[in-house]
Amino acid sequence: MKSMIIRSLVIVAALTSLAALAQTTPAPSSAAPLPSSPGTANQSAAAGNSPAPVPLNLNAKVAGINIEAAVFLTNEGQRDLDELNKKFVPKSTELNNRKAEIDALKKQQTATGVTDDKKADLQRQVEQKQKQLQRDAQDAQEDFNNQRGEIGQRILQKMQPIIGKYIQENSLGMVIDTSAQWPNGPVLYSAPLDITKPIVDAYNAQSGVPAQTQPKSPAPLGSSRPSGTGTGSSKPGTTPSTTPPKQ
């Protein structure tokens, strides 16, 4: 999802830059062109006078946005993510119960009076159940992450015009994604120009989705909520808490 988010944000910035360019490019002037060599003068005469180049804006500001946090810190994002967490509670409960069953088999192996044949049989059961549990837990995590990504993409599509408007209104020359901090990403520091919170506030005002008032259900397959609106990395859970340790 993150690569899609970054590409979408680059597109927003590019379209905004083109719009600004169209507004600031001066109209062709009737003034005499700059001196040129005879050869280039003839070519210019044949092709017509081209518009003067747009001057470089040295005052353009660079800002950062934790785009993943912005998406899931909106009221809509928190609401939909909370519903997704509730949807996966039964699966999480099932996986935890199966893990408890495996733990019980392990305890039987260490019980007094258990024969070697019985221990070997219990060990085979443990290994089989553990492998199946790990596969099922990974499948559940992948399903959870895919649905979480769909939520993020849907919200991001609606957030893009808001980001573009904010860029224009604040004369920003560049907006970078700070979701991954150095050394995992290229951004070392960007707190003074972080625009995550104003974008979230603007999105909430436009969406009309109220803030969540009920206690949020726990994320069953790992932490999936951003921890804040700063420039720290927002890392969704990638390994279910029910995944058994390797033997």
Is the model more confident about 119 or about 218? 119
Q: So what's the architecture of 2-22+53-207 in CATH? A: 2-Layer Sandwich (3.30)
What is the pLDDT at residue 53? 60
For the chain, what is the HEC assignment?
CHHHHHHHHHHHHHHHHHHHHHHHCCCCCCCCCCCCCHHHHHHHHHHCCCCCCCCCCCCCEEEEECHHHHHHHCHHHHHHHHHHHHHCHHHHHHHHHHHHHHHHHHHHHCCCCCCHHHHHHHHHHHHHHHHHHHHHHHHHHHHHHHHHHHHHHHHHHHHHHHHHHHHHHCCEEEEEECCCECCCCCECCCHHHECHHHHHHHHHHHHCCCCCCCCCCCCCCCCCCCCCCCCCCCCCCCCCCCCCCCC
Question: Domains of the chain: which residue ranges?
Answer: 2-22+53-207
pLDDT tens digits for range 234-245 = 333 333 344 433
Mean pLDDT estimate for the chain: 74
What is the pLDDT at residue 151? 97
Is the model more confident about 47 or about 145? 145
pLDDT tens digits for range 9-53 = 443 443 343 334 333 333 333 333 433 333 444 444 444 555 556
Confidence of residue 54 (pLDDT cuts 50, 70, 90): low
